[in-house]
Structure 1
Amino acid sequence: MNRFITAVCAAAIGVAAAVTASGPAQGDPGVVDQVTDLDQRIPGSATAERVVYTTRNSLGEPVRASGALFVPQGTPPPGGWPVIAWEHGTVGRADACAPSGTDFTFYRPYLENLLAQGYAVAATDYIGLGTPGEHAYLDGRAAAQASIDMVRAARAADPTLSSRWAAAGHSQGGHATLFTASIAAVYAPELDYRGAVAFAPGASITDTMLLLGRPGTPDILPAGMKTYTAYVLGGVRAARPAFDLDAYLTPLGRRIVADGARLCYDDMTATLEGVSMADMFAKPLSEGDFEAVARPVLDVPLTGYTRPLLIVQGTNDIDVPAPMVWRQAAELRAAGVEFTITDYPGYDHMQALDATHAEVNPYLASLFR
């Protein structure tokens, strides 16, 4: 699924950072380290560049992240191209899975749609995908900061971009988009944040892990859900390195989590066919410190939303089941968050993204009026 591009070329341009390609990240969030041309182009893009920049993980530590910047063809409108911060769905936890180093796989049509609407696309890889360190899968705060700092870095790399921006993401990226929406106005007050669209956002993650993560769990999950489980476990450990995850895992479970750090989604899922998730756990995740450690990493914030928010969900989604999203929506409403949720009867995980342009494109356009 993920064809890694090895021919990233050209010397860095637009360098404006106190970081190096091999050293630890320093400096302010959004500072550009390196800009190189991408071999792959999304149809409708005038330029395609890979940007390496400084951001912060969820512990507040400076780290590097990478992403792709696509700028539309034609003349920018007055004030510059409005920006969509694109937050991608699950590809894996290994560097070889990073979208800016691949062909963007199944997200290319959606990015083409955004470019056709006249948006520049600033698409973070997140931390640890294509840059040093492990990817903390579903660490929402880290992903949100990487996405917002990608907008900062994109504007530094290309002066034709406007300060006006919105966030959009799918699945893992929908989860990240909810975090982005909760912090954007405060985290980057110099930017003009307009709102967000979260497609099939990952939701109720900690509660699901507490329910399923135990010896004796019935072997009823498809292999893809086992992949998500392994990625979540590895992501929590990457986000909180002091946490003793191994205490919960059997030797098989430790091997599977280790495999998750090196295998992209399709290959990881293939290795889990016939593996029972119950055999991964030495004791239930509901015991000990797992819940206290995981909730700040995984649970969607219930405050901070100051701009319009749209959640889009297909009722036939088996990757992010609709009841989990509806539960998340109920928690947001109970906390006083104002948002819109639109359900699409019969739509699956990808249809919620690819078959909803007619409704979502006008919504995005309204954010920039």
Structure 2
Amino acid sequence: MNYALLTLAGIDDQRPEVDIRRYLSPKGIELMELAKVTCSRELGRYLLAHPTSVGDLFAAPLWNEQFRELFREMQQVPVDGFDRPLRVVHSLSDTSVPVPLTWAQLAEMQQHGANVEYQQLVAENHRESLMASMPESVAFAARVLSPR
């Protein structure tokens, strides 16, 4: 459910011409707006306390070729067009996102000339990776964002 709400929020923000709101129920709009201003973990906690089905999000059907392509596009990670270096962190113990997908993405980004720094963790799960990589990530941000 988190990914669905985050995807809807991304469509609403990045593709306003689609007018995704016309397909959403009042509950769908409320939860999409919540997804825009909260982290995934908090959103998950909210959804556990307020169970909602995906069907509750919609007031009109939208499963057609246009929306299948749009959802596919919104789930893609760009491989080029970056104006500064990127940092990617992934753990071998992450069961939410299989690490071979990240390796494939990194290879494609490098083939397209993206400047990518990669840190591989071993024992951390998906959620633990953020905090485990924080010291290196803060140092990376300081290097990349410092005035030249």
Q: TM-score range by the shorter chain?
A: 0.5 to 0.7
Structure 1 residue identity aligned to 2:66 = G
The counterpart of 2:66, out of the listed 288, 305, 322, is 288
SS in 2 for 1:288: helix
Corresponding pairs, count: 136
Q: Specify whether residues 315 and 262 from structure 1 end up closer, same or farther in structure 2 by C-alpha distance, changes over 3 A only.
A: same
SS in 2 for 1:337: coil
Partner residue in 1 for 2:31: 260
Partner residue in 1 for 2:125: 348
1:243 paired to 2:14: no
Per-residue deviation, 1:310 = 2.3
Per-residue deviation, 1:234 = 3.7
With the length of structure 1 as denominator, give the TM-score of the two structures. Answer: 0.29
Query: Quick check: 1:231–1:257 contact (8 Å CA) kept in 2?
Result: no
Equivalent runs, 1:99-248 vs 2, <5 Å: 226-243=1-18, 245=20
Partners of 2:94 and 2:76 in 1: how far apart? 20
Per-residue deviation, 1:236 = 0.7
| Aligned-residue CA RMSD (Å) | 3.9
Query: Quick check: 1:231–1:260 contact (8 Å CA) kept in 2?
Result: no
SS in 1 for 2:18: coil
Per-residue deviation, 1:342 = 1.6
Per-residue deviation, 1:302 = 2.7
Query: Quick check: 1:260–1:268 contact (8 Å CA) kept in 2?
Result: no
Tell which structure's C-alpha radius of gyration is larger.
Answer: 1
Per-residue deviation, 1:330 = 3.1
Query: Quick check: 1:227–1:272 contact (8 Å CA) kept in 2?
Result: no
Partners of 2:28 and 2:80 in 1: how far apart? 32
Query: Quick check: 2:25–2:56 contact (8 Å CA) kept in 1?
Result: no
Partners of 2:83 and 2:9 in 1: how far apart? 32
Per-residue deviation, 1:347 = 1.2
SS in 2 for 1:242: helix
Partners of 1:238 and 1:366 in 2: how far apart? 29
Greater strand proportion: 1
SS in 1 for 2:4: helix
Structure 1 residue identity aligned to 2:18 = F
Partners of 1:324 and 1:280 in 2: how far apart? 29
With the length of structure 2 as denominator, give the TM-score of the two structures. Answer: 0.60
Per-residue deviation, 1:230 = 2.0
Greater helix proportion: 2
- Bigger relative contact order (CA 8 A; separation at least 6): 2
Per-residue deviation, 1:268 = 3.6
Partners of 1:258 and 1:283 in 2: how far apart? 15
Per-residue deviation, 1:239 = 3.1
Q: Specify whether residues 306 and 347 from structure 1 end up closer, same or farther in structure 2 by C-alpha distance, changes over 3 A only.
A: same
Q: Specify whether residues 257 and 329 from structure 1 end up closer, same or farther in structure 2 by C-alpha distance, changes over 3 A only.
A: farther
Partners of 1:321 and 1:293 in 2: how far apart? 20
1:301 paired to 2:78: yes
1:144-180, CA deviations, whole angstroms, 9 ceiling, x for partnerless residues?
xxxxxxxxxxxxxxxxxxxxxxxxxxxxxxxxxxxxx
Partner residue in 2 for 1:210: none
Per-residue deviation, 1:339 = 1.7
Per-residue deviation, 1:229 = 0.6
SS in 1 for 2:80: coil
